[in-house]
Structure 1
Amino acid sequence: MYVNDCHSNSGSCVVPSLGRFSFQPLKENPLLGPSSSTLEKMGALDVNRVVHKHQSWRLISCIWLHAGVFHLLANMLSLLFIGIRLEQEFGFLRIGLVYVISGFGGSLLSALFIQAGISVGASGALFGLLGGMLSELITNWTIYANKFAALLTLLCIIVVNLAVGILPHVDNFAHIGGFLSGFFLGFVLLIRPQFKWINQKSCPPGYIAPQAQSKHKTYQYALWVISLIVLITGFTLGLVALFRGVNVNNKCSWCHYLSCVPTSLWSCKSQQVYCQSTELGGQLELTCLSNGKSNMYDLSNNDSSKVQLLCAQLCS
């Protein structure tokens, strides 16, 4: 939180003794973290900036940002449980590629469907690791014992985690995009050779090992080719649609239910907030029209997205 505005714009920061490293009031950010404007400065996913200000790097940078300490701890604990086993088996490079590319895929799908507000977090990358675990189990099916139990357990974990995404304020499109990216990447990067081929290469001199005609089975090669084509096509079409300003919600009337399902307990409609702004010298005064709160901000090079974020923060 090197770029932080809590200590200068709010009198009720959490742990104010930390100065510029203090946290926003819990009413504004219950996850114990910075303000939305701070996250936006640090590289949060903002579709307007990605498309109109050529800041495509935000599709990657948002993966390394989190809304707060609780958000970070939850994701890092998940990464420990999921990532350690995969990294031990396949190495840092391959799992790192699955993680980063899946995070990018999650950001891309999120940007195509959710074009208001900002998004941060590594959830898409984590779902990519889950997707990679599933495809790795499928493509290396013949080498596993208790494979059906492993498949059922993994599917239950995936379904439960995706189901949580239908709650409001959860970016399930990032989860879905990350999962699909990781699923197809698993067929490409997490493929294992046949046991016969391994034994043939490692047997001692004079020992005749069972012959293996090829390193991988035919279905593994087929899945590798199909998945690579799907990944290249999907990322290409997604990027073209994003930079052309396409809002996929206009093409798919029911897709928004994948991220939030309204019930009697909650609503999925984003609450619109409006503020009156007045510039006084080098300061900007905002007044929330819904609750009457006002505040002064020391800002330079204001743009509409930054003012909108401050307005939402003031009205929360």
Structure 2
Amino acid sequence: MLSPMTKELEENGIVIIPDLLTASQLRGMQVSFNARLRRMRWNDFDGYEKNDRYRHMVQDVLILDQGFIDAALHPVVVPALREYLGDTFELVEAKGWKSLPTKRDFHGWHGDAWYDQERVKDRIPREVKLGLYLTDVKSGGFVYVKGTHGRQHPKPLSRDEARALPRERFVEVSGPAGLAFLFDTSGFHRQNVPILEPRQAVFFAYHDPKLPLQQEDLEYYRYHPLQLNAAFLGNLTEEERRILGFGNTTNFQPGYERRPMHAYFQVLVGRSYHAKVLAGEFHQRVKTKLKRLTGLSN
């Protein structure tokens, strides 16, 4: 017999979970996530990635704080995932982002494409994501169309298709930091507009890693083996180790090198930084020589 949470997932494609974590767990996650948002990732320090104007992306959040592991393996979440996805599911991605205020509709209605739809035509494989807000969300919340999951292969919707969606089936997820929700990613969803305040959220994706991935995600190495922090893995059960993909090399790509998207700009930045390092070394040599000539210690 299915649990109430799984029944709601089966019927609506989404279930909201208030108060999934303790205040202490949430606070640790917020502090570590905010630390990554202070600057863009570059050279010898970590930070956020930026691929569009409206989001600061934080990859591999499982290494940041114990709370992210606790959320991904939460005893409320895992049984529902097992009932809905079967026994072979794993956590395959853990990332988050800060959405910046905007009135622009930059990310429309869609279902999440991830598997190779040319090779998997006889069914719609299931994927579930756990979303978790790290800030209070009053605008720009996650919106889902109930009952649209499992009916079609995931795709972005055209404007005409979006206008035809039944508004009475819309579920907008807004509320305080710590609010969580599970959803079937084949159902139509989006981030609502306008976004009036910055929004921070993390998303954990679960599916069967043996299913063939779409070419775009293979090239980007999106579903690489999880990056983990040994400090947070001391009390895992065998089932939790399996969910985290311990020892699973299915989607591991030896010697992977991502194709650069901004090659000339990267060369320019690299050479500029090299010039800065040389200038710093020259300045230090001049300073040292002047000290010797003048006999000054400072």
TM over 0.5: no
Higher share in strand: 2
The interval holding the TM-score normalised by the smaller chain is under 0.3
Q: TM-score normalized by structure 1? A: 0.23
Q: Which has the higher contact order (CA 8 A, sep 6+)?
A: 2
Higher share in helix: 1
